[in-house]
Amino acid sequence: MTLEKNLKERIKELTCLYEVSSIIVNNDFRELDKTLYSIALSLRKSLQYSKYATVEIISEPYHLISSTISKKTVLIENNINVFNDPKGFIKIHYPADKFTVNDFLTEEKKLLENVAINVGDLLERVSIRENEAILKRKMEHADRLSILGEITAGIAHELNTPLANILGFAELLKSKEPENTQTGQDLDKIINSAIFSREVVKKLMFFACEMPQNLGHTDIVPVINDAVNLLDPTFKKNEVKYKVNLPKGEVLLKADTIQLTQVIFNLVLNAIYFSPKNGLIKISLEETKKKIILKIADEGPGIPAENVQKIFQPFFTTKAVGDGSGLGLSVVHGIIRSHRGTIDYLPNNPTGAIFIITFPKQ
């Protein structure tokens, strides 16, 4: 190759690198496929036989081709690395009937390597941005729940005393009333309504982490076993199967066992309610060095994306009127939070809900 031709090739490569950096700087994160396509075109333009070349960029979920690709090709390729892991590749093809691999210049291989590094950097930035967005959404969600918790705690406290008065005086009147009178029956209605309201207030207090706790280092394996055994008749009645997977030895956690039982009850009752006939519910416990992880997975319909942000809010329910008050998961959330744990929802595959509770080990 003549000096002049050589220089021309070098200039084309440098121009390409410059172009690729500009494309990346101006990248619109919502249109990453356009950016990758522009990079493919720019790389193609810089090649010695650009008219015949096809540049292909593949990185899940993106697959871009600069131009139609021949059936049989000769090619050079380079991995795209994202955080040191191969996450796709860039290929440069020539039609095999006209070219051989020797037609790729060493400089072109170097250029391909450089462009792949640039694309890898871009994809790293994209992934950092996505993670930040997820984190931001999670924090906003946690913020909203904690504000709701404060409001709820206030209301619950205010209602506690008048409710206790209503119940106390109604019971006093009832005790003075002869049996089987109309007034006696009316007083029973007042008493039952007051008891119902007191239960709602109690659940709200759980949500707001305002309930007293009886914390002790306990082996939680038997606690989970006992809770599931108590639910056995409910599983049978609803024709739902279950599988419990617990570690052989002890799993020690600083916990309030009654509250932990309540968590398992609420989650499993939801799972049963939403399970199809013969659906399987899996309850499992795992222990790692730093964490204790409890999972409850079902095969129901799962939770639609637009509801996921709302499920822990008090009174959110999709159950039919009279079937649920929408307080089960709020109670669960409050109890887990007061144990310094977290609860996350993940969709099950192919369908269903998975609730993952993580407790830090003290």
Ligand X SMILES: Nc1ncnc2c1ncn2[C@@H]1O[C@H](COP(=O)(O)OP(=O)(O)OP(=O)(O)O)[C@@H](O)[C@H]1O
Residues binding ligand X (CB under 6 A): 266, 270-271, 274, 298, 300-303, 307, 311, 316-319, 324-330, 353
Asked whether position 279 contacts Mg ion by CB under 5 A, the answer is no
Q: Residue 69 class from Cβ within 10 Å (0-12 exposed, 13-18 middle, 19+ buried)?
A: middle
Backbone angles phi and psi of 332, in degrees to 5:
-55, -50
| Sign, Cα dihedral of 89, 92, 95, 98 | negative
Closer CB to Mg ion, 355 or 359, in the complex = 355
**Residue listed under structure tokens 């029973």:** 188
By a kind-dependent CB cut-off of 5 to 8 A, residue 353 interacts, out of Mg ion, ligand X, none, with ligand X
CB of 265 to ligand X, least distance (A): 10
By a kind-dependent CB cut-off of 5 to 8 A, residue 261 interacts, out of ligand X, Mg ion, none, with none
Asked whether position 314 contacts Mg ion by CB under 5 A, the answer is no
Map the footprint of Mg ion across residues 27-56, applying CB under 5 A.
Answer: none
Helices within the chain (DSSP H only): 3-25, 32-45, 106-176, 182-207, 220-237, 257-274, 305-308, 328-338
Task: Assign 4 to helix, strand or coil.
Answer: helix
Map the footprint of Mg ion across residues 327-346, applying CB under 5 A.
Answer: 328
CB of 324 to Mg ion, least distance (A): 5
**For residue 351, how many other CB atoms are within 10 A of its CB?**
13
Rounded distance between C-alpha atoms, residue 2 and residue 83, angstroms: 41
Closer CB to ligand X, 222 or 347, in the complex = 347
Contact region with Mg ion (CB under 5 A), list: 32-40, 42-50, 181-189, 323-331? 323-331
Task: Assign 268 to helix, strand or coil.
Answer: helix
Rounded distance between C-alpha atoms, residue 340 and residue 359, angstroms: 7
Rounded distance between C-alpha atoms, residue 210 and residue 207, angstroms: 8
Asked whether position 270 contacts Mg ion by CB under 5 A, the answer is yes
Task: Name residues whose C-beta falls within 8 Å of residue 146's C-beta, 6 or more positions apart in sequence.
Answer: none
Closer CB to ligand X, 43 or 353, in the complex = 353
By a kind-dependent CB cut-off of 5 to 8 A, residue 63 interacts, out of ligand X, Mg ion, none, with none
Closer CB to ligand X, 120 or 149, in the complex = 149
CB of 109 to ligand X, least distance (A): 53
Closer CB to ligand X, 90 or 303, in the complex = 303
CB of 330 to ligand X, least distance (A): 6
CB of 189 to ligand X, least distance (A): 22
313: tokens are: 């809010």
**Residue listed under structure tokens 């009832």:** 174
By a kind-dependent CB cut-off of 5 to 8 A, residue 163 interacts, out of ligand X, Mg ion, none, with none
Task: Name residues whose C-beta falls within 8 Å of residue 219's C-beta, 6 or more positions apart in sequence.
Answer: 250, 251, 252
Closer CB to ligand X, 40 or 201, in the complex = 201
CB of 296 to ligand X, least distance (A): 8
CB of 269 to Mg ion, least distance (A): 6
CB of 298 to ligand X, least distance (A): 5
**For residue 125, how many other CB atoms are within 10 A of its CB?**
14
78: tokens are: 């380079």
By a kind-dependent CB cut-off of 5 to 8 A, residue 170 interacts, out of ligand X, Mg ion, none, with none
Closer CB to ligand X, 193 or 309, in the complex = 309
By a kind-dependent CB cut-off of 5 to 8 A, residue 48 interacts, out of Mg ion, ligand X, none, with none
Closer CB to ligand X, 87 or 203, in the complex = 203
**For residue 214, how many other CB atoms are within 10 A of its CB?**
9
224: tokens are: 């989970």
Binding residues vs Mg ion (CB under 5 A): 270, 328
